[in-house]
Structures are given as structure tokens and as C-alpha cells.
Amino acid sequence: MRIKDFQKLIAERYKQRDSLRGTPKTFMWLVEEVGELATILASEKTTKEEKEDEFADVFAWLCTLANINDVDIEKACEKYTKGKVEGFK
């Protein structure tokens, strides 16, 4: 699945509700998921499946945030795929 397709899937399922929540509150949900990912990554007993689950949650919330701000993540990532970034970020 392409990033664009996943972002569209998330929009179809959640954009109406997520738009009502707004950017600040949606961003806080993303931060919460990043915190959960950090906890999972810090644990030595974490399974690959648990890591995958948390990475998926972070990506889904990032897509949600992009959707309610009219940002196409795949297009935004072109700065990396088309050599527009020099050095380290």
C-alpha cells in the first residue's frame, strides 16, 4: 500500500470526527502515541509485533493530523525522495 492510499483510508474512516476535534487536540493524541512507542522501544522485553503495532498507531495519527491540515504526506516526503535535502537533519 502506498502512503497516499493509507492516508486516504484514514481520511475516509476518521476525517469527519477528527476535524471536529481540531489540530491541537489531534496533535496531543499523536504525542501520546509517540510516548507509547517510546515506552515500547525502551523495553527489552518488547516483541516485534508490539513494536509494529505502536509504529502503525503513530503513523495513523500522523496521517490524521495531515488530513485535517490538508497535507499530502506522500507529496511532502518528496523533499527526501527527490534529493531536496542536503546534509543531515
Q: Residue ranges per domain, the chain? A: 3-70
Which are the contacts of 82, defined by CB distance < 8 A and separation ≥ 6? none
Identify the CATH class of 3-70.
mainly alpha
For the chain, what percent of residues have pLDDT higher than 90?
Answer: 85
Residue 80: its pLDDT value, please? Answer: 84
Residue 82: its pLDDT value, please? Answer: 85
pTM (2 d.p.): 0.89
Residue 89: its pLDDT value, please? Answer: 55
Residue 83: its pLDDT value, please? Answer: 78
For residues 85 and 79, is the Cβ–Cβ distance under 8 A? yes
Residue segments in the chain with a per-residue pLDDT below the cut of 50 = none
